[in-house]
Structure 1
Amino acid sequence: MMSSLRRAWERLSLYLPVLLMGLLALGTWWLVRNAPQPQPAVVERPVSHEPDYFMRDFAVKNFDDTGRLQSDIRGQLARHYADSDQLEIDQARMRSVSPEGRVTTASANRALTNADGSEVQLFGNAIVTREPLVRKGQATLPRLEFRGEFLHAWVNDERVRSNQPVTLKRGSDTFTADSMDYDNLDQILNLRGRVHGTLQPAARR
Protein backbone atom coordinates (compact mmCIF):
# COMPACT_ATOMS: atom_id res chain seq x y z
CA MET A 1 0.00 0.00 0.00
CA MET A 2 2.77 2.38 0.97
CA SER A 3 4.66 1.57 -2.18
CA SER A 4 1.61 2.37 -4.29
CA LEU A 5 1.19 5.73 -2.61
CA ARG A 6 4.88 6.46 -3.09
CA ARG A 7 4.69 5.65 -6.81
CA ALA A 8 1.57 7.80 -7.19
CA TRP A 9 3.28 10.68 -5.43
CA GLU A 10 6.36 10.33 -7.62
CA ARG A 11 4.23 10.44 -10.74
CA LEU A 12 2.34 13.49 -9.44
CA SER A 13 5.58 15.22 -8.57
CA LEU A 14 6.71 14.79 -12.19
CA TYR A 15 3.66 16.71 -13.44
CA LEU A 16 3.47 19.21 -10.57
CA PRO A 17 5.80 21.83 -12.18
CA VAL A 18 3.77 21.63 -15.39
CA LEU A 19 0.55 22.12 -13.44
CA LEU A 20 2.01 25.04 -11.53
CA MET A 21 3.24 26.69 -14.76
CA GLY A 22 -0.21 26.20 -16.26
CA LEU A 23 -1.90 27.75 -13.25
CA LEU A 24 0.58 30.68 -13.33
CA ALA A 25 -0.02 31.26 -17.03
CA LEU A 26 -3.78 31.10 -16.48
CA GLY A 27 -3.54 33.62 -13.64
CA THR A 28 -1.39 35.96 -15.72
CA TRP A 29 -3.88 35.78 -18.61
CA TRP A 30 -6.76 36.54 -16.23
CA LEU A 31 -4.94 39.56 -14.77
CA VAL A 32 -4.13 40.95 -18.20
CA ARG A 33 -7.70 40.43 -19.38
CA ASN A 34 -9.21 42.17 -16.37
CA ALA A 35 -6.65 44.94 -15.92
CA PRO A 36 -8.01 48.47 -16.66
CA GLN A 37 -7.25 49.59 -20.16
CA PRO A 38 -5.00 52.66 -20.52
CA GLN A 39 -6.89 55.78 -21.54
CA PRO A 40 -6.15 56.90 -25.09
CA ALA A 41 -4.08 60.02 -25.29
CA VAL A 42 -6.21 63.13 -25.68
CA VAL A 43 -5.29 64.85 -28.90
CA GLU A 44 -6.10 68.54 -28.85
CA ARG A 45 -7.92 69.50 -31.98
CA PRO A 46 -6.57 72.65 -33.55
CA VAL A 47 -9.00 75.54 -33.42
CA SER A 48 -10.30 76.07 -36.92
CA HIS A 49 -11.14 79.42 -38.42
CA GLU A 50 -14.86 78.79 -38.22
CA PRO A 51 -17.46 80.97 -36.45
CA ASP A 52 -18.30 79.70 -32.99
CA TYR A 53 -21.28 82.03 -32.52
CA PHE A 54 -23.37 84.59 -34.39
CA MET A 55 -25.18 87.80 -33.47
CA ARG A 56 -27.94 89.52 -35.42
CA ASP A 57 -28.96 93.17 -35.19
CA PHE A 58 -26.66 93.58 -32.21
CA ALA A 59 -24.85 96.24 -30.19
CA VAL A 60 -21.69 95.62 -28.13
CA LYS A 61 -20.37 98.26 -25.76
CA ASN A 62 -16.99 98.36 -24.01
CA PHE A 63 -16.27 100.38 -20.84
CA ASP A 64 -13.04 101.20 -19.03
CA ASP A 65 -12.36 100.60 -15.33
CA THR A 66 -14.13 103.84 -14.37
CA GLY A 67 -17.28 102.98 -16.29
CA ARG A 68 -16.56 105.40 -19.15
CA LEU A 69 -17.84 104.24 -22.53
CA GLN A 70 -14.90 103.41 -24.78
CA SER A 71 -16.58 101.93 -27.83
CA ASP A 72 -19.94 100.99 -29.25
CA ILE A 73 -20.07 98.43 -32.08
CA ARG A 74 -23.27 97.66 -33.98
CA GLY A 75 -24.13 95.65 -37.03
CA GLN A 76 -26.57 93.56 -38.99
CA LEU A 77 -24.76 90.25 -38.53
CA ALA A 78 -21.59 89.35 -36.63
CA ARG A 79 -19.52 86.18 -36.71
CA HIS A 80 -17.03 85.46 -33.92
CA TYR A 81 -13.86 83.46 -34.67
CA ALA A 82 -12.37 81.74 -31.63
CA ASP A 83 -8.90 81.20 -33.14
CA SER A 84 -8.30 84.93 -33.61
CA ASP A 85 -10.89 86.34 -31.15
CA GLN A 86 -12.17 88.61 -33.91
CA LEU A 87 -15.62 89.76 -34.96
CA GLU A 88 -16.58 89.94 -38.62
CA ILE A 89 -19.51 92.34 -38.98
CA ASP A 90 -21.85 93.02 -41.87
CA GLN A 91 -23.10 96.62 -42.18
CA ALA A 92 -20.84 97.71 -39.35
CA ARG A 93 -21.31 100.94 -37.39
CA MET A 94 -18.77 101.85 -34.72
CA ARG A 95 -18.26 104.70 -32.29
CA SER A 96 -15.40 105.27 -29.85
CA VAL A 97 -14.63 108.05 -27.37
CA SER A 98 -11.07 108.97 -26.36
CA PRO A 99 -10.21 109.93 -22.76
CA GLU A 100 -10.15 113.57 -23.97
CA GLY A 101 -13.70 113.19 -25.23
CA ARG A 102 -12.99 113.13 -28.97
CA VAL A 103 -15.50 110.99 -30.84
CA THR A 104 -14.46 108.69 -33.69
CA THR A 105 -17.05 106.93 -35.84
CA ALA A 106 -16.58 104.29 -38.52
CA SER A 107 -18.84 102.46 -40.94
CA ALA A 108 -18.46 99.98 -43.78
CA ASN A 109 -20.24 97.20 -45.64
CA ARG A 110 -18.05 94.75 -43.73
CA ALA A 111 -15.67 95.11 -40.79
CA LEU A 112 -13.16 92.91 -39.01
CA THR A 113 -12.39 94.00 -35.46
CA ASN A 114 -10.47 92.63 -32.48
CA ALA A 115 -12.11 91.90 -29.13
CA ASP A 116 -12.04 95.43 -27.68
CA GLY A 117 -12.60 97.32 -30.93
CA SER A 118 -9.20 99.02 -30.81
CA GLU A 119 -8.17 97.68 -34.25
CA VAL A 120 -10.64 97.69 -37.11
CA GLN A 121 -10.40 96.77 -40.78
CA LEU A 122 -13.16 98.23 -42.94
CA PHE A 123 -14.12 96.85 -46.36
CA GLY A 124 -16.46 98.43 -48.89
CA ASN A 125 -17.70 102.02 -48.63
CA ALA A 126 -15.44 102.53 -45.64
CA ILE A 127 -15.66 105.82 -43.71
CA VAL A 128 -13.75 106.88 -40.59
CA THR A 129 -14.58 110.25 -39.04
CA ARG A 130 -13.01 112.05 -36.10
CA GLU A 131 -15.16 114.87 -34.86
CA PRO A 132 -13.58 118.26 -34.05
CA LEU A 133 -12.30 118.74 -30.53
CA VAL A 134 -12.32 122.08 -28.74
CA ARG A 135 -9.34 122.34 -26.38
CA LYS A 136 -9.10 124.95 -23.70
CA GLY A 137 -6.28 127.38 -24.42
CA GLN A 138 -5.31 125.52 -27.61
CA ALA A 139 -6.36 125.49 -31.23
CA THR A 140 -9.42 123.40 -32.03
CA LEU A 141 -8.62 120.09 -33.67
CA PRO A 142 -10.49 120.08 -37.00
CA ARG A 143 -12.82 117.38 -38.21
CA LEU A 144 -11.12 114.52 -40.05
CA GLU A 145 -12.80 112.19 -42.52
CA PHE A 146 -11.29 109.24 -44.39
CA ARG A 147 -13.09 107.49 -47.24
CA GLY A 148 -12.14 104.50 -49.36
CA GLU A 149 -12.88 100.90 -50.22
CA PHE A 150 -10.47 99.74 -47.51
CA LEU A 151 -9.36 101.44 -44.31
CA HIS A 152 -7.34 99.98 -41.43
CA ALA A 153 -7.74 101.94 -38.19
CA TRP A 154 -6.01 101.69 -34.82
CA VAL A 155 -8.33 103.65 -32.54
CA ASN A 156 -6.14 103.95 -29.43
CA ASP A 157 -3.02 104.83 -31.43
CA GLU A 158 -5.05 107.25 -33.60
CA ARG A 159 -3.71 105.78 -36.84
CA VAL A 160 -5.45 105.12 -40.17
CA ARG A 161 -3.82 103.30 -43.06
CA SER A 162 -4.90 102.19 -46.51
CA ASN A 163 -3.13 100.50 -49.42
CA GLN A 164 -5.97 101.51 -51.74
CA PRO A 165 -7.19 104.88 -53.09
CA VAL A 166 -8.43 107.11 -50.32
CA THR A 167 -9.89 110.56 -49.76
CA LEU A 168 -8.97 112.60 -46.70
CA LYS A 169 -10.85 115.68 -45.57
CA ARG A 170 -9.31 117.81 -42.84
CA GLY A 171 -11.58 120.70 -42.01
CA SER A 172 -12.25 122.31 -45.40
CA ASP A 173 -9.14 120.84 -47.06
CA THR A 174 -9.33 117.72 -49.23
CA PHE A 175 -6.62 115.27 -50.30
CA THR A 176 -6.73 112.17 -52.49
CA ALA A 177 -4.03 109.53 -52.97
CA ASP A 178 -3.45 105.95 -54.09
CA SER A 179 -2.47 104.95 -50.54
CA MET A 180 -2.09 106.62 -47.19
CA ASP A 181 -0.63 106.32 -43.69
CA TYR A 182 -1.90 108.80 -41.11
CA ASP A 183 -0.58 109.09 -37.54
CA ASN A 184 -2.47 111.68 -35.51
CA LEU A 185 -0.30 111.40 -32.39
CA ASP A 186 2.89 112.18 -34.32
CA GLN A 187 1.01 114.52 -36.68
CA ILE A 188 2.40 112.71 -39.74
CA LEU A 189 0.48 112.16 -42.98
CA ASN A 190 2.04 110.12 -45.78
CA LEU A 191 0.20 110.19 -49.11
CA ARG A 192 1.58 108.01 -51.90
CA GLY A 193 0.92 107.51 -55.60
CA ARG A 194 -1.16 110.07 -57.46
CA VAL A 195 -1.67 112.73 -54.84
CA HIS A 196 -4.01 115.70 -55.24
CA GLY A 197 -4.89 118.32 -52.67
CA THR A 198 -7.28 121.23 -52.40
CA LEU A 199 -6.49 123.77 -49.67
CA GLN A 200 -9.07 126.33 -48.72
CA PRO A 201 -7.92 129.74 -47.47
CA ALA A 202 -8.25 130.26 -43.77
CA ALA A 203 -11.40 132.07 -42.76
CA ARG A 204 -10.85 135.71 -41.80
CA ARG A 205 -11.72 136.72 -38.30
Structure 2
Amino acid sequence: MQLNPRQIKLGIGRTLLRLTPLILMGALTLATFWLVQKNTPIEKSALERARLHEPDYTINDGALSALNEFGATKYRVLGKKVVHYDDDASIDITTPRMRLFQANKAPVTVKSDTGHLDGDLTILDLINNASIFRPAQAATATEPATLRMLATSSYFKVLINDDIIETDKPITLEQGMSVMNSTEGGIFDNVQQSMTLSGQVKGRIERAPRATQ
Protein backbone atom coordinates (compact mmCIF):
# COMPACT_ATOMS: atom_id res chain seq x y z
CA MET A 1 0.00 0.00 0.00
CA GLN A 2 1.44 3.33 -1.00
CA LEU A 3 0.94 6.48 1.05
CA ASN A 4 0.76 9.77 -0.67
CA PRO A 5 2.41 12.88 0.87
CA ARG A 6 -0.93 14.17 2.17
CA GLN A 7 -1.54 10.99 4.15
CA ILE A 8 2.02 11.11 5.56
CA LYS A 9 1.53 14.70 6.74
CA LEU A 10 -1.80 13.82 8.34
CA GLY A 11 -0.20 10.85 10.15
CA ILE A 12 2.65 12.98 11.50
CA GLY A 13 0.19 15.65 12.60
CA ARG A 14 -1.97 13.15 14.49
CA THR A 15 1.12 11.69 16.19
CA LEU A 16 2.34 15.12 17.30
CA LEU A 17 -1.15 15.97 18.52
CA ARG A 18 -1.20 12.84 20.70
CA LEU A 19 2.30 13.62 22.05
CA THR A 20 1.57 17.28 22.81
CA PRO A 21 0.36 16.66 26.43
CA LEU A 22 3.52 14.64 27.15
CA ILE A 23 5.75 17.34 25.64
CA LEU A 24 4.01 20.05 27.67
CA MET A 25 4.29 18.02 30.90
CA GLY A 26 7.99 17.44 30.26
CA ALA A 27 8.63 21.10 29.60
CA LEU A 28 6.68 22.06 32.74
CA THR A 29 8.68 19.55 34.80
CA LEU A 30 12.00 20.95 33.52
CA ALA A 31 10.88 24.53 34.19
CA THR A 32 9.79 23.64 37.74
CA PHE A 33 13.10 21.87 38.44
CA TRP A 34 15.06 24.89 37.15
CA LEU A 35 13.08 27.31 39.35
CA VAL A 36 13.57 25.14 42.44
CA GLN A 37 17.32 24.88 41.84
CA LYS A 38 17.64 28.62 41.23
CA ASN A 39 15.79 29.62 44.40
CA THR A 40 17.24 27.00 46.75
CA PRO A 41 20.15 28.43 48.83
CA ILE A 42 23.42 26.63 48.29
CA GLU A 43 24.14 24.56 51.38
CA LYS A 44 27.59 25.29 52.74
CA SER A 45 29.88 22.42 53.63
CA ALA A 46 30.89 21.82 57.24
CA LEU A 47 34.32 23.28 56.50
CA GLU A 48 32.83 26.44 54.99
CA ARG A 49 30.50 26.85 57.97
CA ALA A 50 33.45 26.47 60.34
CA ARG A 51 35.26 29.31 58.58
CA LEU A 52 32.42 31.79 59.06
CA HIS A 53 33.25 34.61 61.48
CA GLU A 54 30.42 33.86 63.87
CA PRO A 55 30.47 33.91 67.69
CA ASP A 56 30.45 30.54 69.42
CA TYR A 57 29.87 31.90 72.91
CA THR A 58 29.15 35.15 74.74
CA ILE A 59 29.89 36.01 78.36
CA ASN A 60 28.38 38.92 80.28
CA ASP A 61 30.70 40.57 82.81
CA GLY A 62 33.59 38.40 81.65
CA ALA A 63 37.16 38.38 82.94
CA LEU A 64 40.45 37.09 81.57
CA SER A 65 43.64 36.91 83.64
CA ALA A 66 47.21 35.88 82.91
CA LEU A 67 49.99 35.03 85.35
CA ASN A 68 53.71 35.72 85.06
CA GLU A 69 56.46 33.16 85.59
CA PHE A 70 56.30 33.72 89.36
CA GLY A 71 52.56 33.01 89.57
CA ALA A 72 51.57 36.64 90.15
CA THR A 73 48.92 38.34 88.04
CA LYS A 74 50.53 39.99 84.99
CA TYR A 75 47.35 41.45 83.54
CA ARG A 76 43.58 41.18 83.86
CA VAL A 77 40.99 42.07 81.21
CA LEU A 78 37.39 42.81 82.20
CA GLY A 79 34.45 43.48 79.90
CA LYS A 80 30.74 44.11 80.20
CA LYS A 81 30.25 41.72 77.27
CA VAL A 82 32.81 39.28 75.87
CA VAL A 83 32.15 37.64 72.49
CA HIS A 84 34.44 34.80 71.31
CA TYR A 85 34.77 33.77 67.64
CA ASP A 86 35.56 30.17 66.74
CA ASP A 87 37.20 30.72 63.34
CA ASP A 88 40.16 32.80 64.58
CA ALA A 89 39.76 32.61 68.39
CA SER A 90 39.55 36.41 68.56
CA ILE A 91 37.44 38.22 71.15
CA ASP A 92 35.31 41.37 70.93
CA ILE A 93 34.82 43.21 74.22
CA THR A 94 32.25 45.83 75.18
CA THR A 95 33.65 48.49 77.57
CA PRO A 96 36.98 46.68 78.09
CA ARG A 97 39.13 47.51 81.09
CA MET A 98 42.63 46.07 81.40
CA ARG A 99 44.91 46.28 84.41
CA LEU A 100 48.67 45.83 83.96
CA PHE A 101 50.76 44.91 86.96
CA GLN A 102 54.45 45.51 87.69
CA ALA A 103 56.14 44.51 90.92
CA ASN A 104 56.52 47.41 93.39
CA LYS A 105 54.74 49.83 91.02
CA ALA A 106 51.25 51.22 90.83
CA PRO A 107 48.98 49.15 88.55
CA VAL A 108 48.12 50.78 85.20
CA THR A 109 44.54 50.70 83.92
CA VAL A 110 43.63 51.04 80.23
CA LYS A 111 40.04 51.19 78.99
CA SER A 112 37.80 52.24 76.09
CA ASP A 113 34.27 51.89 74.70
CA THR A 114 35.05 48.79 72.62
CA GLY A 115 37.96 46.41 72.29
CA HIS A 116 39.28 43.56 70.16
CA LEU A 117 41.67 40.88 71.41
CA ASP A 118 43.45 38.78 68.79
CA GLY A 119 43.35 34.98 68.83
CA ASP A 120 46.92 34.72 70.18
CA LEU A 121 46.06 36.99 73.14
CA THR A 122 48.97 39.27 72.24
CA ILE A 123 47.29 42.45 70.94
CA LEU A 124 44.37 44.34 72.46
CA ASP A 125 42.90 47.14 70.35
CA LEU A 126 41.13 49.80 72.39
CA ILE A 127 38.72 51.90 70.31
CA ASN A 128 36.87 55.16 71.16
CA ASN A 129 37.41 57.10 74.41
CA ALA A 130 40.59 55.12 75.10
CA SER A 131 42.68 56.01 78.14
CA ILE A 132 45.72 54.97 80.18
CA PHE A 133 45.60 55.75 83.89
CA ARG A 134 48.27 55.39 86.56
CA PRO A 135 47.54 56.67 90.07
CA ALA A 136 50.05 58.68 92.07
CA GLN A 137 52.42 56.58 94.15
CA ALA A 138 54.48 57.58 97.16
CA ALA A 139 58.19 56.88 97.19
CA THR A 140 59.32 53.47 98.42
CA ALA A 141 62.68 51.99 99.31
CA THR A 142 63.18 50.91 95.71
CA GLU A 143 60.98 53.24 93.64
CA PRO A 144 60.74 57.05 93.45
CA ALA A 145 57.42 58.82 93.90
CA THR A 146 55.28 59.15 90.78
CA LEU A 147 52.58 61.64 89.85
CA ARG A 148 49.10 60.75 88.67
CA MET A 149 49.15 60.15 84.92
CA LEU A 150 46.26 60.11 82.43
CA ALA A 151 46.69 59.67 78.67
CA THR A 152 43.61 59.87 76.41
CA SER A 153 43.14 59.18 72.71
CA SER A 154 40.65 57.73 70.24
CA TYR A 155 42.71 54.54 69.96
CA PHE A 156 45.38 52.57 71.82
CA LYS A 157 47.05 49.30 70.90
CA VAL A 158 48.27 47.18 73.81
CA LEU A 159 51.21 44.92 72.89
CA ILE A 160 50.69 42.55 75.78
CA ASN A 161 53.90 40.50 75.60
CA ASP A 162 56.04 43.63 75.20
CA ASP A 163 54.35 45.65 77.98
CA ILE A 164 53.92 48.47 75.47
CA ILE A 165 50.87 50.65 74.70
CA GLU A 166 51.03 52.74 71.54
CA THR A 167 48.94 54.92 69.24
CA ASP A 168 49.45 56.99 66.10
CA LYS A 169 46.38 59.12 66.87
CA PRO A 170 46.46 62.52 68.63
CA ILE A 171 46.94 62.10 72.35
CA THR A 172 46.53 64.25 75.47
CA LEU A 173 48.83 63.51 78.39
CA GLU A 174 48.20 64.77 81.92
CA GLN A 175 50.88 64.18 84.52
CA GLY A 176 50.39 65.88 87.83
CA MET A 177 49.37 69.43 86.89
CA SER A 178 51.16 69.35 83.52
CA VAL A 179 49.21 68.86 80.27
CA MET A 180 50.76 67.98 76.91
CA ASN A 181 49.18 67.36 73.50
CA SER A 182 50.75 65.32 70.70
CA THR A 183 49.57 65.26 67.07
CA GLU A 184 51.01 61.85 66.19
CA GLY A 185 50.45 59.79 69.30
CA GLY A 186 53.03 58.19 71.51
CA ILE A 187 54.30 55.08 73.27
CA PHE A 188 53.79 54.08 76.90
CA ASP A 189 56.38 51.69 78.36
CA ASN A 190 54.72 49.84 81.23
CA VAL A 191 58.00 48.44 82.56
CA GLN A 192 59.44 51.94 83.01
CA GLN A 193 55.95 53.47 83.32
CA SER A 194 57.01 56.32 81.05
CA MET A 195 55.32 57.97 78.05
CA THR A 196 57.14 59.16 74.92
CA LEU A 197 55.14 61.54 72.69
CA SER A 198 55.56 61.85 68.90
CA GLY A 199 54.98 64.57 66.32
CA GLN A 200 54.22 68.14 67.34
CA VAL A 201 53.98 68.39 71.11
CA LYS A 202 52.46 71.41 72.81
CA GLY A 203 51.25 72.11 76.34
CA ARG A 204 52.33 73.37 79.71
CA ILE A 205 54.59 71.91 82.37
CA GLU A 206 53.72 72.68 85.99
CA ARG A 207 55.95 71.91 88.94
CA ALA A 208 54.31 69.63 91.47
CA PRO A 209 53.69 70.97 94.99
CA ARG A 210 56.78 70.40 97.15
CA ALA A 211 54.94 67.95 99.41
CA THR A 212 54.32 65.55 96.50
CA GLN A 213 57.82 65.71 94.91
- TM-score under structure 1 length normalisation: 0.64
C-alpha contact (below 8 Å) 2:177/2:208 kept by paired residues: no
* Structure 2 match to 1:189: 196
**Which deviates more from structure 2 when the two are superposed, residues 135-144 or residues 160-169?**
135-144
| Shift, 1:66, TM fit | 4.0
Contact 2:80-2:96 at 8 Å conserved across structures: yes
Does 1:122 find its partner at 2:126?
A: yes
The CA deviation at 1:96 is 2.4
CA drift at 1:110: 0.2
1:162 to 123, 144, 167: 167
**Cα-to-partner distance string for 1:78-104 (whole Å, 9 max, x where unaligned):** 111334432210111222212344301
Residue 85 (structure 1) aligned with residue 89 (structure 2): yes
Separation in 2, partners of 1:87, 1:60? 11
* Percentage of pairs with the same residue: 20
Residue 102 of structure 2 is matched in structure 1 by 98
Alignment CA distance shift 1:136-1:119 (3 Å): farther
Q: Distance between the aligned counterparts of 1:65 and 1:139, measured in 2?
A: 26
Cα–Cα, structure 1 residues 50 and 176, in superposed 2: closer, same or farther, change >3 Å? same
Which is richer in helix?
2
- Listed as ranges, the gaps of 5+ residues in structure 2 are 1-44
Which amino acid is the alignment partner of residue 70 of structure 1? K
1:59 Cα offset (Å): 2.4
2:164 touches 2:188 (CA, 8 Å); kept in 1?
Answer: yes
Provide the residue aligned with 2:206 in structure 1.
200
In 2, Cα distance between the equivalents of 1:63 and 1:165? Answer: 32
Bigger radius of gyration: 1
Aligned residues of 1:159 and 1:181 also touching (Cα < 8 A): no
Equivalent in the alignment of 2:74: 70
1:179 aligns with 2:184: yes
Point out the structure with the larger strand share: 1
Structure 1: distance between partners of 2:64 and 2:55: 17
1:155 positional shift: 4.4
TM-score scaled by structure 2?
A: 0.62
